[in-house]
Structures are given as structure tokens and as C-alpha cells.
């Protein structure tokens, strides 16, 4: 290069620095993130990280419950390894017994001496006969062992008002009454004081095929008898819509008076059946369309929240995403009614994106329950006899637990698109929060399976000190953990970043989920 050309380059660079300031970055930085650390207002409710367990396939039986005589290490019949794994990710709330199963479940069949409990046919899921050995006492024991809040869904589809009312009394009343006395007879002196009660499940479908105009009156009647007993604050949850069904939401919000419900239960699955194909045998087209459907959760929550805002501008009623996640074809050779599927890096990305979306809507979304915890759909854990493995989705919940009850920080993201054929979606997805100690956490999903993403992050309103990174990725988009090789997909330390004067620069690997922890600087 000649001296004149070199001087021109230097002059242009100096001029750019003068015009754009000391923070000028080269034009190639197409991904930019600004975190407003001093503008956080809303709290990310830890219950967004809740889970859902239905009497379905091997979720309850073999997943949690092995019985007290099992050679698998257990505490009162509940397997210890599963409990310890769920304690590690700090499961905040667990929804049970369904799902479709809830509206055919009669709780009195699941109490008392197990040898005297009547069997039932699980007509929704595989037509298997259940012995009712896992009932109210066992579920609430499970929640106590995990250290989480129970969320009980009552039977509206085939049950009665009296049945649900007596269940609440059995669980929550500390005085003298027929149900409280029956609880004591069955070995539990103190009430559990369960807070969260769902009044039916998917009553627009498997819960009774109801029209919203009919269900709203059914709900009003049933919720009347879900009593608030002393020292037992009852949080009543109504059946909400599936996905973008705005009519259901409109009818519920318009016709249920203040105080009758504290939450509405929205369900959304981002793929099922032929649309998703196998959980592990798929191509980039399946990866792309699965993630595009996952990102629709943002639009769905926005649409439904706008309706809620018209009737509840102070946001007293919580939007609960009571069932969400990926839904693939079952594994070859398994019972189709058991919904057993593997869990790949694609599912981890679905989890990361979905949790970021719910974090960013935390002013209205105050609970989520991924479907389902063990051996069913997008599970955290898979078991095979005494063996247990953790799935890629589990590792997302583990790394994202830093957001529990933290303050949401506004995050302004400009990013390149991830393109596939003629379609496109944003290449990056993010949420950020600040915990009580002042640490900032940023979770970023690079959904592009082919290209790394250079990112410049500016943090305003806080000085940047030490930075720690963790990454979850794998060699292939189909990578998954098996009982023979359980650590193909697991998190590792991430140091591909450089601290700047007011943030950091990083290169996010393709198909990765990265969580940064940023301490305050001097």
C-alpha cells in the first residue's frame, strides 16, 4: 500500500471515530445487543420454569414411582435419582395429574391403603389399567421431596362440584371435617395447603368438548366451591385457550368477574405428528420449521395478552402457559399412546427460545409448565429400569435457573436473519435479567445451525466486571443423549468473548445456547 493510500485509510478511520464516537464498530458487526441494566422493572417469576407430569406412559409409573419394594433406590416409593436431578434445576412448581387424564381422574380412588384402591383404565393414553398406587399423598410427597409447589388440576369434564370441593377440603383444611378427618385417617395430620388449583383442563377438547360460552358458566360454578381455608391461599386457574384462539380468551375475560380467577391456562405445542417427524432423524428443514413454530409463542402471548389487557389493565390475572414444548413421533417400537420420544439439540433450542420469550413477557406470564418431566414428550429425564439420563432440555433449564425471580432487563437486539430456502427467522433470540446480588445474566440462542454469529453487546447503566460463559451445543443438530452415551449434549465453559469498555464482543457458535454471567465492575 502506498503512503498516500495508508494516510487516506487512517484519515477515514479517524473521521469515523469522530462522527460515531469511541464506541464505533466496523460495519461487519451485524448483530448488536443493548442491555438496559438500569431500567429493569418486572420480575421473572420462577414459576415460568415449572413442569407438568401427567398419568401418561411412563411419566408417573417407572418415571417417579417405583414402589417401596423396588430395588431402585427410593424414598417411600419415589425414585431418588429423579428427585435429586429435579432438585438441582430448582423445579419451582409441578402440575398434576393432567392433562387429559385430569378430567377422568377421581381422586378418592387414589387415597387410603394401596391394596384397597380400585383400578382404572387410562382411556386417553394407551388404554392401560392403572392401580392408583400414585395418588394425592404420593404426589404431594413428591413435591415435598423436590421442594416445589404443587399445582393440582381438578376434574371438571367427568367430575362433580362436590368432588372437587372435597378434594380442596381434604388437602387444605386444618379443622374438624369429614375430609380433614379422612386425611388424618390416611396418615397425614397437617394439611398441605396447596395454593394452585386448576378448574379443568383443555375443556375445549378432551376435557369435555365445551364451547367457551358453556365452559365459562361451568367454571363460575365450580370455582365457587374451591374454598379459601385458613392459611391456605387458593390461586384458581381457569382453562384458557389453545394457541391463538382469541374467542375463548375473550369470552373468559369478559364473563368472569374479578376475584373468580387468578390465572388462565394457555396451551401451545410447537409441532406434532407428521410435521415434526422423528425426534432424532430429521433434516435442516425440520429444524427450521420447528424453531419457527416455537417462536410463534411470542406472537401468541402478545395477542392473548392484548385481550387480557382490555379487561385487566393492571395485570392482576396471570397468563399461565400450562403445557408447552415440542411434540414428535414416538420412538420406534414403543406404545403410540405413551408419547415416549428422544430429546435432541433441537429440543434444547426450543426450550431456550421458549423460555426467553416467556421471560420477556413476565409482566403477564407468571407460570409455565413444560410437557412433560419424565419419559414423555419434551422430557427433562429419561429412564430405563434403574438407568437414568438427562436430556439436552434438562441442561437448558439448569443453565437458565439464574433467571428465577430475577429482574427482567430490557434487551434491544438487532440481528441477522437465519434463512432457509425462501423463509427466514431472526438468527438470535435473547433474554436478560439481574439477580439480587447484582449479577447480570444473558441467555442467547443462535438458531442458525450453519454459521457462527459475531455479536457486540453493550450494557448501559452498569459497569462490567468479570464475565463467565457457559455454552450448550453439539456436533449435529440431531445430537442426543442415550443410555450408552449419556453426555453427547452437555454444557461446557465458554470463553470466546472479549470484554470492551461498556460490554463485550463474542462469537456465538452455530446451533448454540450461551448463558453469560456478568459481575459488576469498579
What is the per-residue pLDDT across 324-363, written as a single tens digit (0 to 9) for each? 999 999 999 999 999 999 999 999 999 999 999 999 999 9
User: What DSSP character marks residue 223?
Assistant: H
Residue 374 DSSP SS3: strand
Single out the residue of 435, 404, 284, 414 nearest to residue 349, CA to CA: 284
Q: Quick check: is 323 catalytic? A: yes
Class for the domain spanning 49-405: alpha beta
39, 418, 351, 496 alpha-carbon torsion, rounded to 10°: -70
Instruction: Give the three cell numbers for residue 500.
Output: 470492551
Sheet holding 407-408, edge to edge: 407-408, 428-434, 440-446, 512-520, 464-472, 492-494
Share of the chain above pLDDT 90, in %: 92
The string of pLDDT tens digits covering residues 439-488 is 999 999 999 999 999 999 999 999 999 999 999 999 999 999 999 999 99
Q: Is the pLDDT of residue 35 over 60?
A: yes
Contact, 18 vs 399, CB < 8 A? no
Three-class secondary structure assignment of 239-278:
EEEECCCHHHHHHHHHHCCCCCCCEEEEEEECCCHHHCCC
pTM here is 0.93
Residue 476 falls in the annotated catalytic set: no
pLDDT in tens, 42-51: 999 999 999 9
> Distances in Å between the alpha carbon of 446 and those of 66, 86, 416, 473?
39, 26, 10, 10
Whether the per-residue pLDDT at 20 is higher than 90: the answer is no
Residue 42: the pLDDT is 98
**Whether pLDDT at 172 is above 80:** yes
Q: Please pick, among 323, 414, 416, 487, the residue that the annotation labels catalytic.
A: 323
| 383: Cβ contacts below 8 Å, ≥ 6 apart | 58, 62, 63, 79, 82, 374, 375, 389
Q: How confident is the model at residue 521 (pLDDT cuts 50, 70, 90)?
A: confident
Joined together, the cell numbers standing for residue 154 give: 381438578
Q: Domain 22-41+409-520 maps to which CATH number in 3.40.50.300, 2.60.40.1180, 2.30.40.10, 3.40.50.620?
A: 2.60.40.1180
Q: Active-site residue among 169, 202, 436, 487?
A: 202
| pLDDT at residue 22, as a whole number | 38
- Torsion on CA atoms 235, 239, 245, 250, rounded to nearest 10: -60
Confidence bin at 246 (pLDDT 50/70/90):
very high
Averaged pLDDT, 235-241: 98
520: phi then psi, degrees, rounded to nearest 5: -70, 140
Percent of residues, the chain, with pLDDT higher than 70:
93
Find the mean pLDDT for residues 388-409: 98
Strand order in the sheet with 503-508: 411-414, 31-36, 453-460, 503-508, 497-500
Q: What mean pLDDT do residues 168-196 have?
A: 98
What sign results for the dihedral spanned by CA atoms 200, 201, 203, 206? negative
What local confidence, expressed as pLDDT, does residue 277 receive? 80
Find all residues with CB under 8 Å of 81, minimum gap 6, and list them: 72, 73, 388
Give the confidence band of 221 by pLDDT, cuts at 50, 70, 90.
very high
Asked if 22-41+409-520 and 49-405 have one fold, the answer is no
Does 181 have pLDDT greater than 60?
yes
Per the prediction, the chain carries an average pLDDT of 94
Q: Where are the domains of the chain?
A: 22-41+409-520, 49-405
* CA separation, residue 214 to residues 54, 229, 247, 248, 394 (Å): 26, 28, 13, 11, 39
Cα dihedral sign, 178-182-185-190? negative
Amino acid at each position: 500500500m502506498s503512503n498516500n493510500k495508508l494516510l487516506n485509510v487512517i484519515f477515514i478511520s479517524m473521521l469515523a471515530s469522530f462522527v460515531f464516537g469511541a464506541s464505533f464498530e466496523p460495519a461487519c458487526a451485524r448483530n448488536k445487543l443493548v442491555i438496559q441494566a438500569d431500567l429493569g422493572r418486572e420480575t421473572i417469576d420462577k414459576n415460568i420454569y415449572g413442569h407438568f407430569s401427567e398419568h401418561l406412559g411412563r411419566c408417573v409409573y417407572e418415571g417417579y414411582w417405583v414402589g417401596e419394594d423396588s430395588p431402585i433406590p427410593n424414598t417411600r416409593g419415589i425414585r431418588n435419582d429423579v428427585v435429586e436431578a429435579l432438585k438441582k434445576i430448582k423445579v419451582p412448581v409441578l402440575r398434576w395429574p393432567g392433562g387429559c387424564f385430569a378430567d377422568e381422574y377421581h381422586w378418592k380412588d387414589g387415597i387410603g391403603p394401596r391394596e384397597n384402591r380400585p383400578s382404572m383404565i387410562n382411556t386417553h393414553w394407551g388404554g392401560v389399567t392403572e392401580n392408583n398406587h400414585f395418588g394425592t399423598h404420593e404426589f404431594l410427597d413428591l413435591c415435598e421431596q423436590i421442594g416445589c409447589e404443587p399445582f393440582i388440576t381438578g376434574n371438571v369434564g367427568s367430575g362433580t362440584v362436590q368432588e372437587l370441593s372435597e378434594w380442596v377440603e381434604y388437602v387444605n383444611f386444618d379443622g374438624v371435617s369429614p375430609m380433614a378427618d379422612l386425611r388424618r385417617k390416611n396418615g397425614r395430620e397437617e394439611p398441605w395447603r396447596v395454593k394452585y388449583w386448576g378448574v379443568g383442563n383443555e375443556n375445549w377438547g378432551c376435557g369435555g368438548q365445551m364451547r367457551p360460552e358453556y365452559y365459562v358458566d361451568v367454571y363460575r360454578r365450580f370455582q365457587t366451591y374451591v374454598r379459601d381455608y385458613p392459611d391456605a391461599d387458593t390461586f384458581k386457574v381457569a382453562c384458557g385457550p389453545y394457541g391463538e384462539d382469541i374467542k375463548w380468551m375473550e369470552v373468559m375475560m369478559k364473563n368472569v368477574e374479578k376475584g373468580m380467577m387468578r390465572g388462565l391456562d394457555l396451551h401451545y405445542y410447537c409441532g406434532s405428528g407428521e410435521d415434526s417427524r422423528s425426534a432424532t432423524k430429521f433434516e435442516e428443514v425440520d429444524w427450521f420449521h420447528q424453531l419457527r413454530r416455537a417462536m410463534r409463542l411470542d406472537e401468541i402471548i402478545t395477542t392473548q395478552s392484548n385481550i387480557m389487557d382490555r379487561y385487566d389493565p393492571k395485570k392482576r390475572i396471570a397468563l399461565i402457559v400450562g403445557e408447552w414444548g415440542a411434540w414428535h413421533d414416538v420412538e420406534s417400537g414403543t406404545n403410540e399412546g405413551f408419547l415416549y420420544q428422544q430429546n435432541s439439540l433441537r429440543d434444547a433450542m426450543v426450550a431456550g427460545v421458549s423460555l426467553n420469550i416467556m421471560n420477556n413477557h413476565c409482566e403477564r406470564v407468571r407460570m409455565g409448565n413444560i410437557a412433560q418431566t419424565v419419559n414423555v414428550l419434551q422430557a427433562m429425564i429419561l429412564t430405563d429400569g434403574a438407568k437414568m439420563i438427562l436430556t439436552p432440555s434438562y441442561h437448558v433449564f439448569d443453565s437458565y435457573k439464574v433467571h428465577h425471580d430475577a429482574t427482567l432487563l430490557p434487551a434491544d437486539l438487532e440481528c441477522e436473519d437465519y434463512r432457509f430456502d425462501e423463509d427466514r427467522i431472526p438468527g438470535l433470540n435473547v433474554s436478560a435479567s439481574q439477580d439480587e446480588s447484582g449479577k447480570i445474566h444473558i441467555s442467547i440462542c443462535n438458531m442458525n445451525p450453519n454459521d457462527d454469529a459475531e455479536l457486540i453487546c453493550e450494557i448501559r447503566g452498569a459497569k462490567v466486571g468479570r464475565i463467565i460463559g457457559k455454552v450448550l451445543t453439539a456436533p449435529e443438530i440431531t445430537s442426543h443423549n442415550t443410555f450408552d452415551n449419556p453426555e453427547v449434549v452437555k454444557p461446557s465453559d465458554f470463553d470466546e468473548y472479549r470484554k470492551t469498555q461498556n460490554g463485550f464482543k463474542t462469537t456465538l457458535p452455530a446451533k448454540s445456547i450461551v448463558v453469560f454471567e456478568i459481575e459488576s465492575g469498579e
